[in-house]
Amino acid sequence: MSSQSNSKNGVSVKAYCGDAMTLLAFNLTENLTENCVGFTIQFKTPHERSFYLPNRLSFTAAPVPMPGQPPQPMPSHSSLDCPIQKFRWLHVPYSSKENTVEFGNYTYFITPRYWKNGALQALDPNLTVDVAVPLNPFVKDKLSVSFTRGFMISQAYARRFGNDTSLSPDEQHILFDTGKTSGAYPAESGNVGNFTYADQFAWMGWQARKAIMNLIKEVTDDATGKKSLDVLAYDFSEPDIAKELLALGVAGKVRIILDDHEKDTTANAYLIKKDFEDKFRAAAPNGVIVRGSFSRQAHCKVMILKDDNKAVKVLTGSTNFSINGLCVNANHVLILDDKEVADKYLQIFEASLNLLLKKPTWTMKKLKELALFTDDFNINRPGLPKMTISFAPHTKEAATRILDQVNTAIDGAKGSVLFAVMQLTKVTGGSVVKKLRDMHNTGALFSYGITDMADDIAVYRPGATRARLVSTQMLAATLPEPFSKEVSTSQGHRVHHKMVVLDFNDANPIAICGSSNLAQGGEEQNGDNLLTIYDKDVATVFAIEAIRLIDHFQYRAAMATATDRKPLLLKQNNSWLTNAYKDNEMDCTDRKYFIK
């Protein structure tokens, strides 16, 4: 179920199901907009507990304490008292210090609120609309999709961990103890005492890290002794993953192809991978670990689960098995629990291993000419959505054809194009990159996108003539009240996804994802995989992730150019929604598209 809708007395609500989060969209008939000051959102958990979603903004600023006077009460942060002045809102369930989240069926109660006679009026139950949806990690039959939280640069991280950006102790060796204390919880986190590196990794790695660790656990917990892993890894530094794979190496239950590209962009990445290789060879002399980089990079992020040497399940996506990949970057992981698909990835592993071991006399030219790397594989299997998978490196002709197919799909979009792609610079080759970079100038579709250029984030808005840039370094000190100073970090990309979502809210939705940067050079020179999935539920999950990132950094883009730093307050009238009811305004297009 990708979404659920309900309406009553001119109020409409639509709830979209994501990976462990819900996107809520609202609408009002125009006669209900007068004096409207937002929406109160209440929800009921699977355990029948009721809460109001919070809102950092309020109608009044925090009081300034007077010398010698007792502290004044702070403004409420409940949407009961501070309605949300937007027509959509993303709910990610709160996780405690133990990172536990209550999953299951949630019911949301949305009520428009009104300001009259100088005061917020009481809730009107006649205008309250409820909608019930499952809120769970995303699993559909034999496919699961999960995401990292990332968000080191965020209010959520600042409230939870303060300004501590350390993600490893000073020694920075790959097998460090993640149970060591990293810092102390700030008072506003609601937690007491110290937090560990493991606490940070679990919170930021979110569902993606759980998916990776659970797949490894299937081998470590296997009582038959027949299960094993084959791993294709690019960036590699996450200590707990490294420890598990090292133990599997000692037991003879893992084979690893680890990138050997010398121009890693992340600090010490090459030395850390060399450190792991040395430790693996010393501890598991009979284990298999091979270094290599194809023509440029062994860029896959793949784990193949085998049972009695036969592939049964595969994990892929954009997430590197590294601290940056799981903690700093926004990334995705897919698990396909299908023997035929997993076997195709195993064939890729074997062909790559043969190349890197030069058995018998493999060359890049010979590898690229294999059908594995020239053909698209159309998957139409029970329990899986229809999809197409391609594996790089390709010949120039095959790479051009595959990227042109993506371009054709984008051109065929009828309603929307949403994307989060790591790099869209002008020097990045290929037809897809240019298409995504320029399409926002046409205004033909509802198109929203985000890309990361290391120090800056570019946010592409519907109808924009150019992207809005935000420097995450600058925003550490320039957010107005009630927002706190955020962490400033240069640790890798914030947006590392390679995903495009077409028409998620229309008849023929498509999600394009995987490890490929959608660039000509990468498709010709890297070890990569690209998936095109034709499924509404999957497209919705990726669309919500794109909106999560776009909304997060769009606000920062606005703040980067703002000259007025006065505290942000809620409007005491309906001026916040004016553009949402003007034809040809982006806010109006946004409101109509998400509620339809």
The confidence score (pLDDT) of residue 483 equals 62
Q: Would you say 360 and 351 are in contact if contact means Cβ atoms under 8 Å apart?
A: no
Lowest mean pLDDT among 94-103, 254-263, 275-284, 554-563: 554-563
The confidence score (pLDDT) of residue 86 equals 96
Percentage with pLDDT > 90 across the chain: 61
Lowest mean pLDDT among 198-202, 204-208, 484-488, 590-594: 484-488
Q: How far is CA 407 from CA 27, 391, 410, 413, in A?
A: 33, 18, 5, 10
> What are the extents of the domains in the chain?
3-136, 143-382, 392-567
Interatomic CA distance for residues 35 and 430, integer angstroms: 50
Confidence band, pLDDT 50/70/90 cuts, at residue 1: confident
Q: Residue 73 pLDDT > 60, yes or no?
A: no
Sign, CA torsion 422/424/425/428: positive
Q: Residue 566 pLDDT > 80, yes or no?
A: no
Interatomic CA distance for residues 420 and 397, integer angstroms: 26
pLDDT 10s digits, 129-161: 999 999 999 999 999 999 998 777 777 788 888
pLDDT 10s digits, 185-198: 888 777 888 999 99
Could you tell me where the DSSP H helices lie in 286-395? Answer: 323, 339-357, 364-369, 371-374
Tell me the CATH architecture of domain 143-382.
2-Layer Sandwich (3.30)
Residue 584 zone, left/alpha/beta (φ > 0; ψ -120 to 50; rest): left
pLDDT 10s digits, 442-486: 666 788 888 886 556 777 766 555 555 555 555 555 666 556 666
Which position has the token pair 């609408």? 27
Q: How far is CA 251 from CA 8, 283, 303, 308, in A?
A: 61, 10, 17, 15
The confidence score (pLDDT) of residue 46 equals 93
Q: How high is the mean pLDDT of the chain?
A: 87
Judged on CB neighbours under 10 Å (0-12, 13-18, 19+), 471 is: middle
For the domain 3-136, what is the CATH superfamily, name and number? Immunoglobulins (2.60.40.10)
Q: Would you say 543 and 8 are in contact if contact means Cβ atoms under 8 Å apart?
A: no
pLDDT 10s digits, 248-307: 999 999 999 999 876 555 557 778 888 899 999 999 988 899 998 888 898 999 999 999
Tell me the CATH architecture of domain 392-567.
2-Layer Sandwich (3.30)
Which of the two residues, 214 and 489, has the higher pLDDT score? 214
Supply 588's token pair: 């109006």
Closest CA to 299 of 353, 346, 257, 356: 257
Exposure on the CB side of residue 372, measured as CA atoms within 13 A:
20
The confidence score (pLDDT) of residue 328 equals 87
392-567 has the same fold as 3-136? no
Could you tell me where the DSSP H helices lie in 252-330? Answer: 269-283, 323
Interatomic CA distance for residues 473 and 575, integer angstroms: 32
Interatomic CA distance for residues 181 and 251, integer angstroms: 30
pLDDT 10s digits, 500-550: 999 999 999 999 999 999 999 999 999 999 999 999 999 999 999 999 988
